[in-house]
Amino acid sequence: MTSVLETAPAVTARAPAKVNLELGVGAVREDGYHPLATVYQAVGLHEDVTAATADAWGVTVRGRDAELVPTDETNIALRAAMLLADEVGGDLAPVHLTIHKRVPVAGGMAGGSADAAAALVACEALWAAGLSKAELDPIAAQVGSDVPFLLHGGTAVGSGRGEIITPVLAKGSYHWVFVPTPAEGLSTPEVYRTFDELTEGRRVPEPEPSPAMMAALRLGDAEALADVLTNDLQPAAIKLQPRIGEVIEAAMGFGALGAIVSGSGPTVALLAGSQEGAIDLAVALTASGVADEVLRASGPVAGAHVIPAPRLT
Ligand code: C5P
Tens of pLDDT, residue by residue, the chain (313 residues): 555 556 779 999 999 999 999 999 999 999 999 999 999 999 999 999 999 999 999 999 999 999 999 999 999 999 999 999 999 998 899 999 999 999 999 899 999 999 999 999 999 999 999 999 999 999 999 999 999 999 999 999 999 999 999 999 999 999 999 999 887 768 999 999 999 999 999 999 999 999 999 999 999 999 999 999 999 999 999 999 999 999 999 999 999 999 999 999 999 999 999 999 999 999 999 999 999 999 999 999 999 999 997 555 4
CATH topology (fold) of 10-168: Ribosomal Protein S5; domain 2 (3.30.230)
Distance from Cα 141 to the centre of ligand 1, integer Å: 11
The per-residue pLDDT for 1 is 52
Closest by Cα among 127, 163, 158 to 143: 163
Residue identifier of the C-alpha nearest atom 12 of ligand 1: 189
Of 34, 143, 262, the one to substitute when testing ligand 1's pocket (max ligand atoms within 8 A of C-beta) is: 34
Contact 23, 303 (CB under 8 A): no
Residue 53: which residues within 8 A CB-CB, separation 6 or more? 4, 8, 9, 10, 93, 94, 95, 126
Q: Annotated catalytic residue: which of 48, 115, 137, 146? A: 146
Residue 55 annotated to the active site = no
- Residue limits of CATH 3.30.70.890 in the chain: 174-299
178 bridge partner residues? 269, 295
- C-alpha–C-alpha distance, residues 254 and 282, integer Å: 9
The per-residue pLDDT for 182 is 81
Residue 173: which residues within 8 A CB-CB, separation 6 or more? 298, 299, 300
Distance from Cα 219 to the centre of ligand 1, integer Å: 32
First to last CA, the chain: 23
The per-residue pLDDT for 236 is 97
- C-alpha–C-alpha distance, residues 107 and 268, integer Å: 9
- State how beta strands 268-272 and 58-63 pair: unpaired
Of 22, 147, 188, 190, the one to substitute when testing ligand 1's pocket (max ligand atoms within 8 A of C-beta) is: 188
- C-alpha–C-alpha distance, residues 227 and 194, integer Å: 26
The per-residue pLDDT for 3 is 55
Residue 146 annotated to the active site = yes
Contact 73, 111 (CB under 8 A): no
- Tell which CATH architecture fits domain 174-299: 2-Layer Sandwich (3.30)
Ligand 1 pocket, Cβ-based, cut-off 6 angstroms: 32-34, 36, 144-146, 161-162, 188-189, 192
Q: What Cα–Cα distance (Å) separates residue 111 from each residue in 66, 100, 199? A: 11, 11, 28
Measured from the Cα of 146, ligand 1's closest atom is 4
Chain centre distance of CA 83: 20
Contact 13, 48 (CB under 8 A): yes
Residue identifier of the C-alpha nearest atom 7 of ligand 1: 189
- Residue limits of CATH 3.30.230.10 in the chain: 10-168
Reported pTM:
0.95
Distance from Cα 229 to the centre of ligand 1, integer Å: 21
- C-alpha–C-alpha distance, residues 217 and 219, integer Å: 5
Peptide bond into 242 cis (omega under 30): no
